[in-house]
Chain A
Amino acid sequence: MVPLASCRKAGEPATFLREHRERKSEGTEPVRFMDRPAFGRLLAELARRGYAVIGPTLRGGAIVLDHVEGLEDLPRGLGSRHGPGVYSLLRRDDDRLFGQAPGPDSAKRFLFPPRERLATVSRPGGRLTVDRAADGEPPRYAFVGLRACDLQAVLIQDRVFLGGPYRDEPYEARRDGAFFLAANCTDPGQTCFCTSTGTGPWCRAGFDVAVTEIDGGMVAEVGTAEGREVLDAAGAREASPDEIAASDRAVRQAADRIDRRPDLRGIGEVLYRNAGNPVWDEIAERCLACGNCTAVCPTCFCHDVVDTASITGQEAERSREWASCFSEEFTHVAGGSPIRASGASRYRQWLTHKFASWRDQFGVPGCVGCGRCVTWCPAGIDILEVLAAIRARDGERDHDERHRTAVR
């Protein structure tokens, strides 16, 4: 597994943007190749090592992340089409396993699960007992096929949950045991813009193994010693120069195909000085405040803590669940009144946090360019259009006083 320490170095640059490294010039670790059966053996090896293997699989008309037993559970020959508020699968003319862009799920669903028990309280014989123990051993996940954007998202959530003085123990336990078999992206979606956030399509860090799918198999780059062991066990041979060239070409072509190139230079400052821009009100007319964008965002971490008691009053439970800054209720503070009563202020809060104050808070922006918030918005709102509108109308002021408050 990837040592945690390497995932959250203090001095990491504030942007992920970095040129792709030519593999040929890298160290002595040979690049490997797996044909389809070898890749199947690799999945089996991960299971043998006690990992719960999580990978892309077809459910409800979408590619989701779930437990996969082997090759037969992975999508085969499926591509995907993405647009604002629109997602569909299509049949490819090959049998690629990773031939589609990521669906709604990311590693967040497993490392920071949607609902989690934090403690149980009981009073046997009238004595109050608090049990903070989690449900058994923390699961050890092996993630298969995470793209570069989603790997970066894990590194960002590390900063959120582990970066400060208070470490989130349940997250840390799951994160510590996780194995990452990442996939360099060869088939980006139409809402992707990772080349602009500098988070893809190449996997740069945080993986045990990174594969690139080409005709006939997977070219594999070793990230950790355990990654090498797993590749050895699967019988991955050394890749040929042609195979390496083909893998480089596939990812470069993917990068070229990403035609959404938002101007993100100085976007944080632009957002900060446009808290009163009328664009926010215009977007709020369309925004359903349903929170789908925040649920599918691989870095959004807002949650709520909920207490429930049994009818008998003998047991109670404290759990946390995904929540959203789009919910009016979520902005209530002590005393009961919402600090962001308008939909406009909540939309502004989300986008400004993601691209501006997130950077101040955690040292990196909160967006990895995966485009999920665009695809899975039921109203079809495109954040890149919103950002472009703010930039184009930089300095416009709403006459409504309530929007003149600072956002920091």
Chain B
Amino acid sequence: MSGGGRPRLAVFKLASCDGCQLQLLDAEEALLDLAGAVDIVHFPEATSRSEAGPYDVTLIEGSVSTPSQLDEVREIRERSRFLVTMGACATSGGVQALRNWADAGELARAVYPSPELLRSLETSTAVSDHVRVDLELPGCPVDRGQLLGALAALLAGTVPRLSSAPVCAECKRRGYACVMVVRGEPCLGPVTRTGCGALCPAFGRACYGCFGPSRTPNVASLLDRFAVLGLTRDEAARKLRLITSWSPEFRAALREEVPAR
């Protein structure tokens, strides 16, 4: 990190639920270690201290959903040495990117009494669609261990390593019985990136893909398998159309299934 004192850490939020920041605030003892290792200069949810930068490490949660966020994210990039996006919103557009599959104006008119007051972009998108991002941490929310591990690696001056293997790899390591093979549950584990600790299969639930696509996922084949398990093509596609539907890989697979806008 930069010479002199402790590295300066900033945490920002765009369109999001704050759940990823909470992973940091809930880190208990590790948070104390972190506060000792870095100088937290901007973190509105934790402190009223706010410095303009520059920052050595910046964490951003949330998607780019409004014109002002678009400006903000560009400013943040300029003030940041390492820009790390955290969570499904910041890395793929999040659940709010479901509007990208519809007519945003029509949705606004259906929901708000005065939609003309809204200052909203047509689409909800990942931060990396707009500025260079140095590291993307997936998940809804981001995994605390992965977040702290990445920060620890950056502080140690090494490249953080995030496995790109599918959830199945972790599911099998932990010895969970496969919900798809044993119970015929349509599970996104084979195409979803690990990092969550196979949390849903641990409780006998199918993965719903909140960590987004694994590396080179074969989504088309999985959707074919869902059809064998009794899902209609539309039901199978809906499994993908959830939290990370706007990730490039899932988006491409969904475009095969539904006509493009």
- The smallest beta-carbon distance between B144 and chain A, in angstroms, is 12
Are A378 and B181 in touch, CB under 8 angstroms? yes
Number of A-B contacts (CB under 8 A): 145
- The smallest beta-carbon distance between B20 and chain A, in angstroms, is 17
Residue of A nearest to B228 (CB): A380
Residue of A nearest to B156 (CB): A309
Mask of A308-329 contacts with B, CB within 8 angstroms, 1/0: 1111110010000111100111
Distance of A59 Cα from B182 Cα, bound (Å): 11
Does B191 sit at the interface, judged by CB under 8 A?
A: yes
Choose, from A41-49, A133-141, A228-236, A291-299, the stretch at the interface: A291-299
Are B149 and A329 in touch, CB under 8 angstroms? no
Are A288 and B221 in touch, CB under 8 angstroms? yes
- The smallest beta-carbon distance between A6 and chain B, in angstroms, is 30
Give the size category of A's interface with B: 35 or more
Are B177 and A327 in touch, CB under 8 angstroms? no
Distance of A288 Cα from B182 Cα, bound (Å): 18
Determine the chain A residues whose CB is within 8 A of the CB of B189 once the complex forms: 290, 378
Distance of A307 Cα from B182 Cα, bound (Å): 34
Does B74 sit at the interface, judged by CB under 8 A?
A: no
- Majority-rule SS of B interface residues: helix
Are B181 and A311 in touch, CB under 8 angstroms? no
Determine the chain B residues whose CB is within 8 A of the CB of A306 once the complex forms: 161
Mask of B154-178 contacts with A, CB within 8 angstroms, 1/0: 0110100101111011001111111
Determine the chain A residues whose CB is within 8 A of the CB of B178 once the complex forms: 62, 87, 104, 292, 376, 378
Distance of A126 Cα from B168 Cα, bound (Å): 40
State which of B173, B180, B225 has its C-beta within 8 Å of the C-beta of A114: B173
Q: Point out residues on B near A: beta carbons under 8 Å.
A: 30, 33-34, 36-37, 148-149, 151-153, 155-156, 158, 161, 163-166, 168-169, 172-178, 180-184, 187, 189-191, 204, 215-218, 220-222, 224-225, 228
Given A295-B169, A311-B30, 14 other A-B contacts at CB below 8 A?
Answer: A85-B225, A104-B172, A109-B175, A285-B220, A289-B218, A290-B168, A292-B172, A292-B178, A306-B161, A307-B158, A313-B37, A327-B165, A376-B181, A379-B222
15 example contacts (A-B, Cβ-Cβ < 8 A) are as follows A66-B175, A87-B181, A87-B182, A115-B173, A288-B168, A290-B168, A290-B189, A290-B190, A291-B168, A291-B169, A295-B172, A306-B161, A308-B149, A308-B153, A379-B222
